[in-house]
Amino acid sequence: MTAKEKLLEAAPGWSEHDAEVALRAVELEHAAGAGRVEDEWGDLTAFSAQASAATLRRLDSQEAAEGFSWEDRRQS
């Protein structure tokens, strides 16, 4: 008996699609626990880091253009 069949037996009101979604969520949770968060869109951790880095660089350059310095703030 497959995991999907067992799940459908335990949750008789669920559709096959519901069972597939639940099994995919468990698969992603296990992957995240192993340090790998990837799906059909790619590595979500790497994408998040790349998107955050670009945003932080943009904010840093805007603050610098306005004369703001975190270094000056830390020493105050």
- pLDDT tens, the chain, 76 aa long: 888 898 889 888 888 888 888 888 888 777 766 666 566 667 777 777 777 888 888 888 898 899 888 888 777 6
Q: How far apart are CA 7 and CA 40, in angstroms?
A: 23
What are the residue ranges spanned by the domains of the chain? 1-36, 42-76
Q: How far apart are CA 16 and CA 38, in angstroms?
A: 23
Output the six-digit token pair for 60. 């840093």
| pTM given for the model | 0.42
